[in-house]
Amino acid sequence: MPKITPFLWFDTQAEAAAAFYVAIFPNSRITRVARRPKGVPGETGDVLLVEFELDGQPHLAMNGGPGHNFTDAVSLMVLCKTQAEIDRYWSALTAGGGEEIACGWLKDKYGFRWQVAPESIAALLSGPDRAKAERVMAAVMGMVKLDLKRIEEA
């Protein structure tokens, strides 16, 4: 099976964003930084690509220039076991100018979208008890940062 790697396009912040992300998630690191060679648009020697791992999962970030902003159509989901994990990742990812959106979604200070949710969310929403699934969805729709206890009690 081919390796599938998330690829993030930044204007000029790829290295700073990668450093921000690897500081948040355990088992994470920047593995390589490639500089812009002669003949490639932009300033020769500036950072072009940053390879990094988030909890061992490879990612690639590129300084590709302006005009290709992130949208709500793509996000990374952080599945958490506890409310303490939800709180920690939520705070870390919104730090420094991030924005809380709704239903467990946020935008970090670089404009990238994340979902911070309990790892049980998919099972709760797709389980055989449809009334429970509807209550869970209604609870989630009324939240910004997700509250695991309120979701489980729904």
Q: How far is 130 from 81, CA to CA, in rounded Å? A: 23
pTM for this entry: 0.93
Could you tell me whether strands 7-10 and 29-35 are parallel, antiparallel, or unpaired per DSSP bridges?
unpaired
Give the CATH number of the domain where residue 82 resides. 3.10.180.10
Using an 8 Å Cβ cutoff, are 98 and 85 in contact?
no
Q: How many CB atoms lie within 10 A of CB 83?
A: 16
User: Residue 15, by phi and psi: left (phi above 0), alpha (psi -120 to 50) or beta?
Assistant: alpha
Q: How confident is the model at residue 2 (pLDDT cuts 50, 70, 90)?
A: confident
For 74-99, the pLDDT digits (tens) are 999 999 999 999 999 999 999 999 99
For 41-57, the pLDDT digits (tens) are 889 999 999 999 999 99
Which of 34, 49, 68 corresponds to the end of one domain? 68
**Domain span including residue 38:** 1-68
Task: Check whether residue 26 and residue 3 sit in a common domain.
Answer: yes
Q: How confident is the model at residue 105 (pLDDT cuts 50, 70, 90)?
A: very high
Q: How far is 132 from 130, CA to CA, in rounded Å? A: 5
